[in-house]
Amino acid sequence: MTPLHQAVARHQAGALDEAADLYAQVLAAEPHQPDALHLLGVLRGQQGDPAAGEGLVARAAALRPDAEILTNLGRLRAALGRMAAAEAAFRAALARDDSHAGAAFALGTLLLNLNRPGEALAPLDRAAGLDPAHGAARANLGVALHRMGRLAEAEGVLRAAVEADPAQAIARFNLASVLEDQGQLDAAETEYRTLTQRPDMADAWLNLGTLLQRRHRDVEARPCLQAALDRGTSRRAGALAHLVHIDARLCRWDDVAARTPDLLAALQAGDDSAPPFAVLCLDVDEAWHERAARLHAATVARSAGAPLPPASLGPAGAPLRVGYLSADWHQHPTAYLMAGILERHDRAAVAVTAFSYGPDDGSPMRARLRAGADRFVDLRGLDDRAAAQAIRAAGVDILVDLKGYTEGGRPGIAQLRPAPVQAQYLGYPGTLGRGAGIDYVLADAVVLPPERVGFWDEAVVRLPGCYQANDGARPIGPPTTRADWGLPDDGVVFACFNAAYKLMPQVVACWARLLAKVPGSVLWLLDPGPALPTLQAMLSSEGVDPGRLVVAPALPKARMADHLARHACADLFLDTHPVNAHTTAADALYAGLPVLTRAGGPFISRVAASLLSALGLPDLVTYSLEAYEATALDLARDSARLGGVRARLAAARTLPGGPFDTDTFCRRLESAYSRMAQRARNGLPPRGFDVG
């Protein structure tokens, strides 16, 4: 056996150090032996030194550029992060031998990792065809189809991969993900549960937990997420963040407090798997909100790949082309806020395009939104790059992302820079982080005062009054009675229609004390689901009959007018802290129900304060729990004062320039857009400003 054959045998046996010595002996005698150079380079990569390996394999490729050597050269370059060079090597390998399944698979997988799934399809399909036993090729082909939104095709490919090899865990995992995105939640749950039988699939537990969370089966989701942590999921911050958010929804406040330090430690260590919104809702220093966003933005950027070439603004003097990007152009809170904006923009100033990547629910709201925009572009079925290219082709000067990091958002589209100026607005009350592709955030002086700007990576544009869009023409349903909602005919009704995750123990304890001090009063809460017993127990612990907590059923979005109408049955809306009511506060105020809020530091803690300030009701904004409780008690005991507040609110609702004056608000937006565009035309970088 020759020294080279001996080296190969030891290499195949896993004796890497011995093999390396033997390869070195071959090269000492014959420095230009391509096989020894090639295989020693591969070995160095296996030993964790891809730089040394790349140099050796590059020498081999210069001597004999066959497909196998070029493929391994590409793999080593990819390990070094040299993606363009890796791609070139894989393409060169296929140019030498288009039947090399390894090169086709490597190229397709690289393109997939660069978030270029459309380009990945052909090489992955070829790899699967050349080597029918190559389960990973089929699995990745399914992933590419999934990312392109071709869900039915992805399901077919992945099912075939699983049928060919039932032990193919990656294919089954991705099949479950495709089923979930198609809304086949029962089938997705079954696949994830099958995978949880494997000890090496901690992420199956994580995805099962998040799926159950999505299905509002929080009690079942908790042990799944804990199992993911116990089994060493690589997405530790993600599992912790989902657990913390579920515990908040279940009002398991001790568990939230216990897990939060572990979550922050994972963020500090650079774990980028936490959904930023879950961190945003925590009562922690705002620097943590920014860190979670920056980590996530970097992950999105890596996945999205290189931005599109720089875009140019349209001709000066023409209406600005403004695009609003969202998944929520259907019966959704964002749509209820934005519908009037689409309709009432001044077409001499702006041309409006609504870009949609969410579902078409066939509702009257969807029809209204389509009619309200000059153009309505459906991006469903397009991956992020194709969606960005479609936005570029549509010709947009300013792209406004209305989703950010909320559920269902696709921040990769904005990261690709389809428009010359890009802003985030309304949906996500926190920074999207450096590198997210966003130039500006639209805010106001209350939600984002100068002392908080340091926690934002966008240039801050402050609108006069309140930043929040509102539709001043929303219908309010016919009056209802207290009896219709199970409320007493007499006594003060304290209401809060915020989601359960916003409830905090200090606030609930405060509410219990108010009930104890105001005889005959009740607390009217939006149905908190499984958290109800915890809330009732807290009332009992404060000596309050838990029967004084009245549950308001969650009404479907189609009954928004009825939801607005029922506010008239309450006396005072009690806001939560640190996460305020946002759309919920606007609903209450629009319906004529006063809102009492406690403002905090971050944007997410100041939205109700912004609305109240813009309505001339700053006396309903407090800055401590003690002041909040004292003001609520005073209003509840002083019917004349409360009546005066209601009268002031009724008068302010229709005043020009207020939060519900949609026409004036549109003029303010248009002024902001004009100044953003002018800076870009002048070649100036984004910079914050106040709209006069």
pLDDT computed for residue 381 by the predictor: 78
Distance, CA of 161 to CA of 342 (rounded, Å):
46
- Helices 185-195 and 169-181: crossing angle in degrees, nearest 10, is 160
Distance, CA of 205 to CA of 189 (rounded, Å):
10
Residues in contact with 185: Cβ distance below 8 Å, sequence separation at least 6, in sequence order: 179, 211, 214, 215
pLDDT computed for residue 365 by the predictor: 96
pLDDT computed for residue 553 by the predictor: 96
- The amino acid present at 573, given as its one-letter code, is F
3-class state of residue 326 by DSSP: strand
Distance, CA of 559 to CA of 537 (rounded, Å):
31
pLDDT computed for residue 295 by the predictor: 97
44, 13 in Cβ contact below 8 A?
no
Residues in contact with 63: Cβ distance below 8 Å, sequence separation at least 6, in sequence order: 32, 34, 37
Tokens encoding 211: 């799926």
pLDDT computed for residue 436 by the predictor: 97
pLDDT computed for residue 251 by the predictor: 97
Instruction: Give just the sign of the alpha carbon dihedral 646, 647, 649, 653.
Output: positive
Peptide bond into 578 cis (omega under 30): yes
Which domains, and CATH codes, for the chain?
210-304 (no CATH), 320-463 (3.40.50.11380), 482-653 (3.40.50.2000)
DSSP 100: -
Q: Is the entire prediction scored with pTM above 0.95? A: no
**In the chain, which stretches have pLDDT less than 70?**
none
